Structure 1
């Protein structure tokens, strides 16, 4: 009887495709599995030899297979792509959205999110993140493991917050901005569009769009790393 119940439950899960299959996708996969609302039917990636193979996820091909899959009735997707290049991630999200796919909010069961927090579609909230009242999160935002987002912060489209980062009250994060692991941004600070805050930085002044800051206190750095996560 238990096996029959499990089969019925699996049939009731919504089929979903993971876009991208690197290390970040493995974390997204774990959230999906714990939520028990969606069933990952496979992944798309540049190569069949990808990170998700170790978890038994079926490789469906490159992203050009998505149109046919959508015609077959699979219309939910999750983005398994991270790294510094939030412009690439935003464009990929927009392209797949245009094909007719829906991107659910994926919130880890062990995260803590206040009741009045607004979360846009496609955003991912990982384990042990804490998001306090008055926060607004736009679409396609990544909030990594152990992040603290204090009251009244605003995170714009396709921003990414690294593991263990702290955003104090009323911080504004611009579109496609990247906040590195363990960074601390004091209250009221504005991080500009496509700006990068280096890992471990302490930000006490506004950061201009398209610039990189590092250190404690954070200062401008003209050399951007090309490494992806």
Structure 2
């Protein structure tokens, strides 16, 4: 079953295009977006996408900070998102799962903290996902998927049944992975690729059928 923490006011860590979509998902599912955090000095103050820019992420870790808000990391880079989610959790913040109301998610799915399922996406029965995952707009993960931590399934990508994806891997927009393929850690599957064989850790694959980039 999905576990979603109580709806405290939400701070979004990040203030770029991805953060806008995260804010839309949060608001559509009933969260109050208290503000955004951004580490670019020139962006402190003012308003971003309807909520205040509240300063750099360091405000979360001041001695006087109180964990009276939830924190969601809205950073597309898998490695950076991993560091930020872990830091927020280590500091005692609630890091929720966000699911757009239009997404279809089986009640048997398990998702780690900081995962987001965006509009029009589908996650099917008995899929397991680690922390900090992104199931982007219109993507789908079919039954019995096993996704590691900080995986990004980009818009329109399709993971068919029993696919395994390692930590911090990117499945590019519109890519397709056939059933029971295993994709390793820190891989990149290029946009529009069709994966028909296993992909080893750290590989970048592109094309139809997908093969090593630059072969």
The two structures have a TM-score, normalised by structure 2, of 0.91
Q: Determine which of 55, 66, 76 is the counterpart of 2:49.
A: 55
Aligned equivalents of 2:114, 2:136: Cα separation in 1:
14
Q: How many equivalent residue pairs?
A: 208
Taking the TM superposition and a 5 Å limit, the aligned residue runs for 1:165-204 are 165-204=157-196
The aligned counterpart of 1:40 is 33
Rg (Cα) greater in structure: 1
The aligned counterpart of 2:16 is 22
CA contact (8 A) 1:174 1:194 kept: yes
- Quote how far apart the aligned CAs of 1:53 are: 3.9
- Quote how far apart the aligned CAs of 1:49 are: 3.5
**What are the Cα deviations for residues 24-43 of structure 1, in whole angstroms up to 9, with x where unaligned?**
0000000111111x211111
Say which structure is richer in helix: 1
RMSD: 2.0
The two structures have a TM-score, normalised by structure 1, of 0.85
The aligned counterpart of 1:133 is 125
CA contact (8 A) 2:67 2:93 kept: no
Question: Where does the alignment leave 5 or more consecutive residues of structure 1 unmatched?
Answer: 1-11, 224-229
- Quote how far apart the aligned CAs of 1:68 are: 3.8
- Quote how far apart the aligned CAs of 1:155 are: 0.8
Taking the TM superposition and a 5 Å limit, the aligned residue runs for 1:53-202 are 53-68=47-62, 71-82=65-76, 85-202=77-194
Aligned equivalents of 2:160, 2:124: Cα separation in 1:
10
- Quote how far apart the aligned CAs of 1:69 are: 8.8
Question: Where does the alignment leave 5 or more consecutive residues of structure 2 unmatched?
Answer: 1-5
